[in-house]
Structure 1
Amino acid sequence: MTTTDYATYIAGLPRVLAGAASLFRDGTGRVLLVEPNYRAGWALPGGTVESDAGEGPRQAARRETAEEIGLDLEPGRLLAVDWARGTGRPPIAAYLYDGGVLSEEQLATIRLQEEELLSWKLVERADLDAYLLGTLGPRVRAALEVLDSGAGTAELEDGEPAAR
C-alpha cells in the first residue's frame, strides 16, 4: 500500500467524536452541574477531546474543568465510558472521570467561563433527572453507582449497560 493509498484509506474511515468530563460532588454528595448557554439542559464540567492537538480524554477533562469552572484538578479514576449515538452527528465516546469531593473553599473559588456557561449549582442525586437530558443522566447515575459500590468502570451504550 502506498502512502497515498493509506491516506485515502484513513480518510474513508468512520469518524467518532470523543468527550470527557469530571463528576464533582460536595461533602453531602450533591453533584456539581453547569448550565451551558448553547443548548438545553445542564451538564458536567467537560467537553470535546482535542485529539488533533494530541490530547487524550484525561487531559481533556482536566483542561475543560479548568476552562469552564476555574479549577485545575487532576481527574481521578475513570468511572464510565459511554458510546453515545446521535442523530446528525457521529457517535461520541464519552469518558467520565471522578472529580472528587470539593471543599467549601474550592466551591467558593469557582469562576465560570462566561462564553459558554450561564451558571452552576449543586444538585441532589434524586433531582438529577430534572437537569440532565439524553444519555447524560443515565451516564451520571452509572458513575455514581460505581462510586457507591467500588466496582470497576461502567461500560455503557447510549447510557445503558453494554451487553456482556
Structure 2
Amino acid sequence: MTTSDYATYIAGLPRVLAAAAALFRDEEGRLLLVEPNYREGWALPGGTVESDEGESPRQAARRETAEEIGLDIAPGRLLAVDWARGAGRPPIVAYLYDGGVLARERFDAIEIQEDELLSWRLVERDALPDFLPDRLLHRVLAALEVLDGGPGAAELEDGVPVPG
C-alpha cells in the first residue's frame, strides 16, 4: 500500500467525535454545573476534544474548564467513559474526569465564558435529575458511584452501564 493509498484509506474510515468534562464538587458534596447558552439544560464544564491538533481527552478537559469557567486545574482520575450515539451526528466518546473537591475560594474565582455560558451553580446530588439530561445524568451518577468506592472507571453506552 502506498502512502497516498493509506491516506485515502484513513480518510474513508468512520468518524467518531470525542468530548471530555470534569466533575467538580464542593466540600458539601454539591456538583458544579454550567448553563450553556446554545441549548436547553445544564452540563458539566467540558467540551470537544480537538483531536486534529493532537489534543488528548485529558488535555481537552483541562483546556475547556479553563476556557469556560476560568479554572485551570489538572483533571484527576478517569471516572467514566460513555459511547453516546446520536441522531444526525457521529457517535461521541465522552470522557469524564474527577475535578476534585474545591474550596469555596476556588468557586468564588469562577469567571464564565459568556460566549458559551449563561451561569453556573452548585447542585445537590438529589437535585441532579432536575438539571441534567438523562444520558448525562446517568454518566454523572456512574462517576459518583466510582468516587464512592466503585472499582475502576465506569464504562457506559448511551448512559447505561455496560455489564462487565
TM-score by length of 1: 0.98
Shift of 1:151: 2.0
**C-alpha distance after superposition, 1:31-59 (max 9, x if no partner):** 00000000111000000000111100000
C-alpha RMSD of the superposition: 0.8
Corresponding residue of 1:140: 140
Corresponding residue of 1:63: 63
What code does the residue aligned with 1:11 have? Answer: A
| Larger relative strand fraction | 2
Moved more, 77-86 or 125-134: 125-134
Q: Which runs of 5+ in 1 are unaligned?
A: none
TM-score by length of 2: 0.98
Moved more, 12-21 or 130-139: 130-139
> How many correspondences in the alignment?
164
Shift of 1:163: 3.3
**C-alpha distance after superposition, 1:128-162 (max 9, x if no partner):** 01111141010000000000114210011001111
What code does the residue aligned with 1:10 have? Answer: I
Moved over 2 A (4+): none
**C-alpha distance after superposition, 1:80-132 (max 9, x if no partner):** 00000000000000000000011011010000000000000000101101111
Q: Percent same amino acid among aligned pairs?
A: 75
Corresponding residue of 2:125: 125
Q: What secondary structure does 2:107 align onto?
A: helix
Corresponding residue of 2:72: 72
- Distance across 2 between alignment mates of 1:36 and 1:29: 22
Corresponding residue of 2:95: 95
- Distance across 1 between alignment mates of 2:15 and 2:150: 33
